[in-house]
Amino acid sequence: PGARAADNFMLGSNTTIHDVHWWGFHVPSISSGFNDFTFTFYSDAAGLPGSVLLTTGGSLVIEDDTNPGSPVVYDKFYSSFLDSPFEAVGGVTYWLSIFNGASDAAWAWRSSSDDGELIARTNLDPIDWSQTLTVNLNFQLTTKSVPVPATLALMSIGLVGLGCRRHKQKAAA
């Protein structure tokens, strides 16, 4: 309990992140299964998590045994709709930390099969990200593309114009 991990990510365009999905496992002999997850988005500070940009909770959904062949019996797929969405700027490196703050948490964030990105782990307070490993953590971000109001207005005008043109063509025929 108290160990933190973070992984970096970069998106190709400006995006609002609404959901986080990740893989992990817990040890029920140590933990009663309470899950008090918080999601913290950090800026990048020379390859480590920098200043906090957003800390939020979320509604939690846990699915059992998403990897039946796994040697870890309590392998889980977690999903959360964030209480506060995160506004990410395309081409900027950010860090995501998923932390289980339950008093009896015996939980680990699962690594993905690819290695190479830097993660940082610490159980110190205040947080010290200088302890690092080179492993990718297994997570997925869900975004919603929201059209800009000006784009909606232009699309509406275009559709009205097409409708008028079609109506004129039918009337002429």
Residue 167 scores a pLDDT above 70: no
Task: Rank 5-14, 134-143, 164-173 by mean pLDDT and report only the highest.
Answer: 5-14
118 CB-contact burial (10 Å; exposed 0-12 / middle 13-18 / buried 19+): middle
pLDDT category at 65 given cuts 50, 70, 90 is low
The reported pLDDT for the residue numbered 6 is 85
Q: What is the pLDDT of residues 71-108, one digit of tens each?
A: 544 567 888 889 999 999 999 999 998 888 777 666 67
The reported pLDDT for the residue numbered 101 is 76
**What would the two tokens of residue 29 be?**
């002999």
CB-CB contact of 5 with 129 (8 Å): no
Q: What's phi and psi for 159, nearest 5 deg?
A: -65, -40
CB-CB contact of 22 with 49 (8 Å): no
CB-CB contact of 33 with 152 (8 Å): no
The reported pLDDT for the residue numbered 148 is 47
The reported pLDDT for the residue numbered 77 is 80
